[in-house]
Amino acid sequence: MLSSVGIDTAKATLEICIKPQKIRFEVANNSAGFEVLLERLKDFN
């Protein structure tokens, strides 16, 4: 299934939405948050 990822950036956080699965989560806008984001996105590769 093809997925689209939207990322809303703020100074302290990144809000992520993955469609069409309707998955939403937030991570810190720093290197630790980027690692979490990459781990979560691996499932969609």
For residue 37, what are its two tokens? Answer: 């984001």
CA neighbor of 18 nearest in space, from 31, 7, 32:
7
Global pTM? 0.85
Q: Which residues contact 21 (CB under 8 A, 6 or more apart)?
A: 3
Would you call 2 helix, strand, or coil by DSSP? coil
**pLDDT attached to residue 34:** 98
- Average of per-residue pLDDT across 14-20: 97
Closest CA to 14 of 35, 42, 43, 44: 35
**Mean pLDDT of all residues in 7-27:** 98
The yes-or-no verdict on residue 45 having pLDDT over 80 is: no
Rounded-to-integer distance, Cα 23 and Cα 11, Å: 22
- Label residue 27 by pLDDT band (50, 70, 90): very high
